[in-house]
Amino acid sequence: MKLSQFFLPTLKEVPADAQVISHRLMLRAGMIHQTSAGIYAWLPLGYRVLKKIEDIVSREQDIIGCQKVILPTLQSADLWRKSGRYDGYGKEMLRIKDRHERDLLYSPTAEEVITDIFQSHIKSYKQLPQVLYQIHWKFRDEIRPRFGVMRGREFLMKDGYSFDLDYNAAKQTYERIYESYLRTFKEMDLTAIPVKADTGPIGGDLSHEFHVMAPTGESTIYYDAAFETLPDAARTFATMSNLYAAAEEMHDVAQCPIKGEQLKSSKGIEIGHIFYFGTKYSKALGAEVMGPDGKQMTVEMGSYGIGVGRLVAAIIEAHHDDAGILWPKSVAPFDIGLLNLKQGDAAVDALAEDLYTTLRSMNVDVLYDERDERAGTKFADMDLIGLPLQVIIGAKTIKEGLFEVKIRKSGERKMLSKEELFNFIKAN
Ligand code: ATP
Ligand code: MG
């Protein structure tokens, strides 16, 4: 993509109400545009990141056998009356009437709809387990939308729903998804701490929120320092669910098994939440299958959310410096920024254009800054949008035959021959 043609409305000044760093950087880097309170359009740069995150989330879900669907955002109130949540949900639910005065709502989550679909089609235990998920827009009329896409009103969420024959099978599904969440977040260079969450009237201990630590997080979490030193191989449900981690509301100093330095606390951003809720919805909506002994059994369910839009902000909170964003490679909107510092110089233009074409033919995603701008502006914009690698071309490149490469995260610079450059890009 050539920067002169790319829709990248970077800002020098950000609105004063943008308090947290991710919100400020997303606005400054032209990733999002606010259309009303808590509602954002994703502009090309932001959408590229959102899409990368969606792809990682989907891939990890598919690997463990979940199946992707897409459900309507507008749902009938009648289904929600069956589960008792139409009245229970409160003001966060956006209620709509159609032209026939029928009650609809904009989905804040989708347990009712998916359970209804399940019960229409699945009749035998032989078809279990099933995990269906979608990545789709949700609407919750948050009383105080804030921090940009971190707490929006309309936001992109991965929501998954599991159907199993009994508690043991449901628990296995839950553990499989728990572990896949850890891998999903790791792929985005985020270390997530699974915190036991309230299971309400269901009881048991099968509900976890996944938090990434950031000073701007809205939750406070307390956790065993062992979380920070666990080797990857030990990041399993069996090990991690036995370590202490609690949100502020649960955490009870007197009861806490961890004492002294071993107990850590931090602000956290909730990026995921998984929940086993047994037969709460299957009972209400009649989701039964025929069991092995020929008797009808009500299926055991769980639901599994990831804040896909919120993740973009959480990644920025975890990966930035004074100059801008530091995208992990896996979610970067482009792989490389190519800067032509001598735009208009025929030899430099030809070299830069040639490199741009070659890289693209190698399937490297390049953002080519061929604008007629000062070098300082080009450097600042490139640092702001945070692509992992910058290749800088100027008069010196022609004279010495060496390309300058800057690694955005470390600031390290290298002078490389053309061949070394290609090898370096392939290796990084
Ligand atoms: P929170 O406690 O932050 O309000 P929640 O517990 O209501 O979130 P869930 O129903 O668990 O949210 O939704 C699953 C995930 O969706 C959350 O873990 C979070 O990452 C994301 N999410 C929830 N609400 C919002 C929102 N208003 N804006 C952006 N993402 C959200
Ligand atoms: Mg939650």
Instruction: Give per-10-residue mean pLDDT for the chain (428 aa).
Output: 98 90 97 97 98 98 98 97 94 97 97 98 98 98 96 98 98 98 97 90 84 92 93 92 91 91 95 96 97 97 98 98 98 98 96 97 97 97 98 95 97 96 94
Q: Please report whether residue 317 resides in a domain.
A: yes
Q: Please report whether residue 246 resides in a domain.
A: yes
pLDDT at 232: 87
CA-closest residue to ligand 1 atom 26: 151
Backbone angles phi, psi at 342, to 5 degrees: -130, 50
**Contact 307 CB / ligand 1 (< 6 Å):** yes
Residues 338 and 262 placed together within one structural domain of the fold:
no
How many angstroms is it from 140 CA to the middle of ligand 1?
Answer: 9
* Domain finish residue from 289, 321, 353: 321
What is the atom index within ligand 1 of the atom nearest the CA of 305? Answer: 14
What is the atom index within ligand 1 of the atom nearest the CA of 109? Answer: 10
Residues 350 and 297 placed together within one structural domain of the fold:
no
Residues 294 and 157 placed together within one structural domain of the fold:
yes
Q: Please report whether residue 315 resides in a domain.
A: yes
Q: How many structural domains are present in the chain?
A: 2
Ligand that lies nearest to the alpha carbon of residue 151, given by its number in the listed order:
1
What gap in Å lies between CA 327 and CA 48, rounded to an integer?
12
Residues 379 and 245 placed together within one structural domain of the fold:
no
Strands (E), 257-347: 263-278, 288-290, 296-298, 300-307, 320-321, 324-325, 336-340
CA-closest residue to ligand 1 atom 27: 151
Q: Please report whether residue 264 resides in a domain.
A: yes
Residues 211 and 315 placed together within one structural domain of the fold:
yes
- Which of the 8 DSSP states describes residue 327? -
Ligand that lies nearest to the alpha carbon of residue 39, given by its number in the listed order:
1
Instruction: Name the residue range of residue 407's domain.
Output: 334-427
What is the atom index within ligand 1 of the atom nearest the CA of 306? Answer: 15
What gap in Å lies between CA 110 and CA 134, rounded to an integer?
10
Give the count of alpha carbons within 13 A of 204, CB side only: 14
pLDDT at 17: 86
Residues 269 and 345 placed together within one structural domain of the fold:
no
* Domain finish residue from 321, 354, 387: 321
CA-closest residue to ligand 1 atom 2: 270
How many angstroms is it from 129 CA to the middle of ligand 2?
Answer: 24
Ligand that lies nearest to the alpha carbon of residue 305, given by its number in the listed order:
1
HEC readout, 11-37: CCCCCCCCCCHHHHHHHHCCCEEEEEC
**Contact 138 CB / ligand 1 (< 6 Å):** no
**Contact 152 CB / ligand 1 (< 6 Å):** yes
Q: Please report whether residue 196 resides in a domain.
A: yes
**Contact 52 CB / ligand 1 (< 6 Å):** no
Q: Please report whether residue 279 resides in a domain.
A: yes
How many angstroms is it from 197 CA to the middle of ligand 2?
Answer: 8
**Contact 310 CB / ligand 1 (< 6 Å):** yes
Residues 292 and 403 placed together within one structural domain of the fold:
no
Residues 163 and 217 placed together within one structural domain of the fold:
yes
Q: Please report whether residue 387 resides in a domain.
A: yes
CA angle, residues 312, 195, 134, in degrees to nearest 5: 45
Residues 270 and 167 placed together within one structural domain of the fold:
yes
Residues 169 and 91 placed together within one structural domain of the fold:
yes
Candidate of 157, 276, 304 to mutate for ligand 1, largest count of ligand atoms within 8 Å of Cβ: 157
For the whole model, what pTM was predicted?
0.97
* Domain finish residue from 264, 290, 321: 321
pLDDT at 205: 77
Residues 360 and 286 placed together within one structural domain of the fold:
no
Q: Which residue type occupies 208?
A: H
Cβ–Cβ under 8 Å, residues 303 and 113: no
How many angstroms is it from 273 CA to the middle of ligand 2?
Answer: 5
Q: CA torsion angle for 277, 283, 287, 290 (degrees, to 10)?
A: 100
What is the atom index within ligand 1 of the atom nearest the CA of 153? Answer: 27
pLDDT at 131: 98
**Contact 140 CB / ligand 1 (< 6 Å):** yes
CATH code of the domain in which 376 resides? 3.40.50.800
CATH code of the domain in which 56 resides? 3.30.930.10
Candidate of 310, 312, 317 to mutate for ligand 1, largest count of ligand atoms within 8 Å of Cβ: 310
Cβ–Cβ under 8 Å, residues 212 and 271: yes
CA-closest residue to ligand 1 atom 8: 270
Residues 295 and 348 placed together within one structural domain of the fold:
no
**Contact 304 CB / ligand 1 (< 6 Å):** no
Cβ–Cβ under 8 Å, residues 245 and 178: no
Q: Please report whether residue 328 resides in a domain.
A: no
